[in-house]
Chains A and B, each alone.
Chain A
Amino acid sequence: MNKLKLATVWLGGCSGCHMSFLDLDEWLFDLATQVDLVYSPFADIKEYPEGVDVVLVEGAVANEDNLELIKKVRDRSSILVSFGDCAVTGNVTAMRNPLGDTESVLQRCYMEAADIQNQIPHEPGIVPTLLETVQPVHAMVPVDVYLPGCPPDANRIRAALEPLLAGATLNLTGEQIRFG
């Protein structure tokens, strides 16, 4: 039997959800026997592969790189899990939205709030262009499972992953869906 192809993706977020994933501790050994990790910040793989079974997506969609990647991820994955509050709600990543357009955001962050070397970063091809507003993942592509929390703790991640490993799609309920 082929192993389930698992991927994790890091968009506009702090990587705290990935840290929480590592908190799964010894269960990671069990997980490793059941899946092939085919794309992840934990692995040095450059291109998001075809035919991914389950993908955990951390972070909100904040810039053009995020948008391009999430579209590719959706096209090439069966079950997309919105992983953590930034992916599910926009969360802290989306706190820039009330500031207005990207120009206002850049002015605020890199000019007004900077202590030294006030300048707006401009490196085409290296620093991706910001989207006008940060959006949760499901505002951009269809999402199959929501896994909220900032970060979702290891038990919650396991509760979401275990049914997926068994081939079922299960939505979390009760305290497992509390934001924050």
Chain B
Amino acid sequence: MAVKTLTINDRLISARESQTILDAAKDAGIPIPTLCHLEGVSDVGACRLCLVEIAGSNKLQPACVTKVAEGMEIQTNSDRLQKYRRTIIELLFAEGNHICSVCVSNGNCELQNLAVEMGMDHVSLAYQFPQRKVDLSHDRFGIDHNRCVLCTRCVRVCDEIEGAHTWDMAGRGHNSHVITDLNQPWGNSNSCTSCGKCMMACPTGAIFAQGSTVGEMIKERSKLEFITTARKNREWLF
């Protein structure tokens, strides 16, 4: 397999040609913030947090879906990128109804962690206070759309790992939301296997276990990692 050499933050690194910038940076120990990326499922470049600068192009590229190339000169943490990333997090907070203090995932939330990482001590944009629903029709799980950041991790993990494709997207613009089956209550879904992978994959408190209260919802990722690692390493092919 061909090897490409490139620089990330002025550091010379080599990467396999099939790798994305995000993978190559990770191998080199260079952190790039992500939100919609989930190890083991496909990338969609939805959240734009992993945008990087590539010399010779004015256009910022999402590291998770951009392949490495020979001689690439990449910057991952310029002042401009830091400013954009903070704005992205502020946009997410302003767009939904994210009330950390009463959220099941308070203290265990990727969005909350990113806000800390980006130095967001307040949201300078106008809060939208949208009217969104909560679906508690499923026996074991619930979804609070107020806390959803539309990362589509639930959609991808359900489709690609569980193979059920219960979740999908509906609506456009600020009406976008995730749905189960053909926009039916989750509890009525015929395709849902109740495996809980969507809950494990969800970065916020949007998908949660029924009965959990403030700060109690800790997303257990080890089961997902176990499955995705086994698939990646082809451990189950005899």
Query: Taking beta carbons and an 8 Å cutoff, which residues of A are in contact with B?
Result: 82, 85, 88-92, 94-95, 97-98, 100, 133, 135-136, 138-139, 143, 146, 148, 150, 171-175, 177-180
Contacts and interface: CB of A to CB of B under 8 A. Distances in A.
A179 B129 contact: no
Given A98-B97, A179-B112, A143 B127 contact: no
B25 interface: no
B129 A150 contact: no
Nearest to A171: B121
Given A85-B100, A174-B116, A180-B100, A146 B129 contact: no
A95 B146 CA distance: 11
A94 B99 CA distance: 9
A82 B123 CA distance: 12
A136 B93 CA distance: 13
A140 to B, nearest CB: 12
Interface residues of B, number: 26
Nearest to B107: A180
B15 interface: no
Interface in B145-162: 146
Which 6 A-B residue pairings sit nearest by Cβ, starting from the closest?
A: A180-B100, A150-B101, A97-B129, A146-B121, A179-B100, A180-B106
B129 A148 contact: no
A177 B116 contact: yes
Nearest to A179: B100
Given A148-B121, A177-B121, A139 B106 contact: no
B231 to A, nearest CB: 35
Given A172-B121, A177-B116, A92 B100 contact: no
Interface in B91-123: 93, 97, 99-103, 106-107, 112, 115-116, 119-123
B112 A178 contact: yes
Contacts of A171: 121
